[in-house]
Structure 1
């Protein structure tokens, strides 16, 4: 009886396994046919979900747009790294075409070597990737055109930029749907358009701006800003004369929008040895800032204990890794979540930024866009100019326990910085030589200014890193600095349609638990370290005094003095050993936490699976034993 029951159970188990395998394959085949392109997006930033910003762009298309996707079979066969990326591009373009309601046409080509399709791809600006030893080129490029023959091309859709795929595609379609770009005029000391003296080309933020705006460089604003300028961007304006200040004043009062980067310590200009010393932008802009109801303290920069970046430095003639208070890595908690310019930003890097505060009696409204955490305070900029000591800055830092504003929107009623009229040298026309008749003494409908107390936020190295694929160089963002600049320009102009896309894909995040543990360890051991360093310095001084007495007196040291020197040297060796112990203890808590995290990541899933399997085995064994007990005996 038991044998027949066991045989029946074995047969049923085998049949169940066969049916389960067949059902598994059937479900997968049906899903591949019926649910093609359907995904569950579990990423934190919803990188695989089409955003509302993209839907708005696609629904606003009013003329047909034609896209050509060049995808080589050889690239898809090169491995899953490229095959998966190509599939995602295909699926996203299908989604775009569906959402555009027939106004977006996607054509697909396989540009085989020496084929007409390859000639078409090259003429559209596609760049091939060398995938074989014989020099065969493979393509993954996208070209688009509108009804007026405006053309945009992404030469190579690199997998390295997979997290930014939606942004790249939507930006291209937006450019084709809006070929007329608003005008942005740029004035200031930052060499954003390139520096002939150093041979450096345009900054990356400028290249990004030119994708959305007609960017114009202004050498001098003395003759006015220009009636066709939508937004004026001031990039560390430290060399303006009074006539130029007046032109900016009148532009803002007349309804012109201003984005100003005014930095009390522009590190990028400090490092440019070949350039003439830059002017003090804070001092130069002080009259305008006062008229706009704000101020930036001169010679003061912001340090933040919570947002400080880790740097390598030297302290007491030894290498250290420590927090550098003026270099800030800011996250979502530091930006305004309900403002288009900052709502979707993930990481911002600012260096030696100033603080912005409302002036006494201001009639304007100051709306913070970027701010520090509460563990922040102002530092003397002079301490940072020449070989700053990060450890000493950290040791002497006294946080003010309240956030400081680093960037702000300024709006509302404002008066002219020139209440007496145009300054000398600013003329009008023949009927009004002094220009007084056209002078604006106040804003007719309020001013609109975004003020940023940092210029280094625009520097390439602070927000991108370069990578290479197949010999081609690609720029991958590591922070949202350029996104912020473009968002701010678009908000000032009134077009924030793409703001919801920028900021996605930035994956650099701080490990909060590790950072807090490291900070507690540093605070706990810093006092012991400084006490030991003081004892070491005192011992060195005592030895030097005894040796100097010997040289100045011309007599040999007594045995007691020689013993004192020897004791001091032994004490010095012991103090150095204690210092090394303290420095080791400084890192021990962080290393232990890192080891626990690594162990958890390595063994948690295998342990969970093994534990589940053990429970299942015990349950099955228990049930089998119960079945044997309950089975009737023959």
Structure 2
């Protein structure tokens, strides 16, 4: 028996070792077989770790081979850990480009060291060097080369990681593009940073202009010129001042000939220092009237989109004239706004498309029904004035719209009547060369209307840097942190109107902070109740003050120095009413906090206990099954 047992044990051990060896061999064989195959599963909701369809379509359209040189100082000592981790993620993303391009992209990942040939080439291409305390240079940039063309991303800002895919794909598309885009800009705001006057800008171009310059040639156009540059892909009108009649006619001719427009028309542009002196008549009204468009001169006030701002008393308050638009206010099925989740529009106006307009209109941005139009002068008086005079109309107001179709001719008989030229200009040959007389109506050929597109936004302040980005300094370089979709909205509009719609599907995949929508809804409900009671209090306060003043006018002689019995009764009644309403307001705030706190407690319980409870229940279920098998063996 013992010998037999030993033989069986030996055979069992031999079988076990043989099986283990075979298993190890199979695992090694599988690893070798699939080592060149990249299998990935992106489990995120928005597929943020996968290349978007827009990028894939652009890669498939490439005909020439593109070489990507990624300069990344992967130094664990000198490179800050978070930037080093970001640099590695950039490398992973670039490998995705190389894999999906099917040989059309060749990737080179280079780690420049001090006084190396890679460092010299990086500087020669224009990749920015980040100096360190030890004198070494760190690099985090990308160079794209194709035949005799090159595009450079000098510094891949970690703060803009959410738009990294767009920046890379835009660079590749620009490299493969046969012709550069041309965009004309007519602006009453100093978006180009050229004004030498104090308080009027002059600090360099606004950030969105720098972004446009990366992929297009910009043509600044003076408001008093008589013609537009040729071959424009897009014309941007940004809160234009008084336009010359000939320029109005040129714009009319441009759009009726199929040219696309992007217009920012603001009833109260905070970024315009002259806006405090009152807004003049909109110079585009003759065009709007012909197109069936009505742009209001009032400001949309919406308590459901109020923005938390520091008030005049240095306390944070909800300002309903600064609109923080969320996904409910943004159209989700349009190329321009799909995927956008957060916009800030300070003191925006509204637009209405009349029934007589022949254009097809698609709303991009709109307010909630808890909104009302108000005079800009009244809005500037402060939050108390808004609360006292606000009365919701129950309708939504459109703040951005996309119009398409053949645009009607605004000036069929040529330019509108021009003012007489200044006397000193009559004999100036140079002036006549710069501003030749406009062609007479008789010389105008019959215009053939071609379909065009117009994106009209009733706010210009959303373009200002401070309303969508904050700046930080790192190692002497300025980095930008984008905190909402204002820039995305503008660039999306430019991409679609100037002919690159594929890039829109990339940028709109940016990952934004997800708001606590339930908490936001609770705050909105309490805000509505609070506002109604506050307005009631203010009305009663004004009525009591009016009654006291009426009694004051009735007093005579020595009675002017003391309160009458009627006045004392009125004051006592008002103070009692004020105390009662203040108690109700405090109760509303307590109820709001109680609802939000209760929601927070439920979320904590769910987060802390859900997974342990799930594991316990799973363990109990497994134990029950095993015990059941033990009691009833087969």
Is the Cα contact below 8 Å between 1:56 and 1:497 reproduced in 2? yes
**Which residue among 250, 255, 260 is the counterpart of 1:257?**
260
Is the Cα contact below 8 Å between 2:343 and 2:484 reproduced in 1? yes
Give unpaired runs (5+ residues) of structure 2: 1-15, 422-431
Please state whether the residue corresponding to 1:74 is helix, strand or coil. coil
Cα distance in 1 between the residues matched to 2:560 and 2:405? 81
Greater shift, 258-267 or 595-604, is seen at 595-604
Q: Name the residue aligned to 1:505.
A: 510
Provide closer, same or farther for how the CA distance between residues 75 and 183 of structure 1 changes in structure 2, counting only shifts above 3 A: farther
Give the TM-score of the pair, scaled to structure 2. 0.80
In the alignment, structure 1 residue 248 sits paired with structure 2 residue 251: yes
**Which residue among 268, 273, 278 is the counterpart of 2:271?**
268
- 1:112-511 paired onto structure 2 within 5 Å: 112-129=113-130, 133-148=133-148, 150-178=149-177, 180-194=179-193, 195-197=195-197, 198-220=201-223, 222-270=225-273, 280=280, 283-297=282-296, 299-313=297-311, 319=315, 321-322=317-318, 324-359=319-354, 361-384=356-379, 386-389=380-383, 391-394=384-387, 396-424=389-417, 434-439=439-444, 443-511=448-516
Cα distance in 2 between the residues matched to 1:536 and 1:628? 81
Is the Cα contact below 8 Å between 2:59 and 2:101 reproduced in 1? yes
Cα distance in 2 between the residues matched to 1:357 and 1:311? 29
Provide closer, same or farther for how the CA distance between residues 605 and 412 of structure 1 changes in structure 2, counting only shifts above 3 A: closer
How far did 1:335 drift? Answer: 3.5
Is the Cα contact below 8 Å between 1:71 and 1:86 reproduced in 2? yes
Q: Name the residue aligned to 2:10.
A: none
Please state whether the residue corresponding to 1:70 is helix, strand or coil. strand
Greater shift, 445-454 or 176-185, is seen at 445-454
Cα distance per residue 1:300-328 (max 9 Å; x no partner): 222233333233435xx794622x23322
Please state whether the residue corresponding to 2:96 is helix, strand or coil. helix
Cα-Cα RMSD = 4.2
Matched residue count: 593
Cα distance in 2 between the residues matched to 1:374 and 1:538? 29
Q: Name the residue aligned to 1:4.
A: none
Cα distance in 2 between the residues matched to 1:454 and 1:338? 22
Provide closer, same or farther for how the CA distance between residues 31 and 361 of structure 1 changes in structure 2, counting only shifts above 3 A: farther
Cα distance per residue 1:252-292 (max 9 Å; x no partner): 2222222221222222114778xxx6863x53211111112
Cα distance in 2 between the residues matched to 1:452 and 1:563? 53
Provide closer, same or farther for how the CA distance between residues 482 and 70 of structure 1 changes in structure 2, counting only shifts above 3 A: same
Cα distance in 1 between the residues matched to 2:115 and 2:584? 68
In the alignment, structure 1 residue 604 sits paired with structure 2 residue 606: yes
Provide closer, same or farther for how the CA distance between residues 629 and 129 of structure 1 changes in structure 2, counting only shifts above 3 A: same
Cα distance in 1 between the residues matched to 2:103 and 2:354? 54
Please state whether the residue corresponding to 1:370 is helix, strand or coil. strand
Cα distance per residue 1:142-195 (max 9 Å; x no partner): 1222212x3322223233222222112112211211263111111120211113
Provide closer, same or farther for how the CA distance between residues 227 and 156 of structure 1 changes in structure 2, counting only shifts above 3 A: closer
Is the Cα contact below 8 Å between 2:226 and 2:250 reproduced in 1? yes
Is the Cα contact below 8 Å between 2:323 and 2:346 reproduced in 1? yes
Give unpaired runs (5+ residues) of structure 1: 1-14
Give the TM-score of the pair, scaled to structure 1. 0.80
Cα distance in 2 between the residues matched to 1:234 and 1:488? 13
Provide closer, same or farther for how the CA distance between residues 336 and 278 of structure 1 changes in structure 2, counting only shifts above 3 A: same
Provide closer, same or farther for how the CA distance between residues 624 and 80 of structure 1 changes in structure 2, counting only shifts above 3 A: farther
Provide closer, same or farther for how the CA distance between residues 396 and 64 of structure 1 changes in structure 2, counting only shifts above 3 A: same
How far did 1:240 drift? Answer: 0.7
How far did 1:593 drift? Answer: 3.8
Q: Name the residue aligned to 1:12.
A: none
Provide closer, same or farther for how the CA distance between residues 303 and 524 of structure 1 changes in structure 2, counting only shifts above 3 A: closer
Please state whether the residue corresponding to 2:218 is helix, strand or coil. strand
Cα distance in 1 between the residues matched to 2:51 and 2:382? 46
- 1:47-58 paired onto structure 2 within 5 Å: 47-58=48-59
How far did 1:30 drift? Answer: 5.7
Cα distance in 2 between the residues matched to 1:460 and 1:554? 60
Is the Cα contact below 8 Å between 1:221 and 1:247 reproduced in 2? no
Provide closer, same or farther for how the CA distance between residues 419 and 271 of structure 1 changes in structure 2, counting only shifts above 3 A: closer
Provide closer, same or farther for how the CA distance between residues 557 and 364 of structure 1 changes in structure 2, counting only shifts above 3 A: closer
Cα distance in 1 between the residues matched to 2:338 and 2:630? 66
Please state whether the residue corresponding to 2:394 is helix, strand or coil. coil
Is the Cα contact below 8 Å between 1:480 and 1:506 reproduced in 2? no
Provide closer, same or farther for how the CA distance between residues 556 and 404 of structure 1 changes in structure 2, counting only shifts above 3 A: closer
Provide closer, same or farther for how the CA distance between residues 544 and 177 of structure 1 changes in structure 2, counting only shifts above 3 A: same
Cα distance in 2 between the residues matched to 1:625 and 1:502? 56
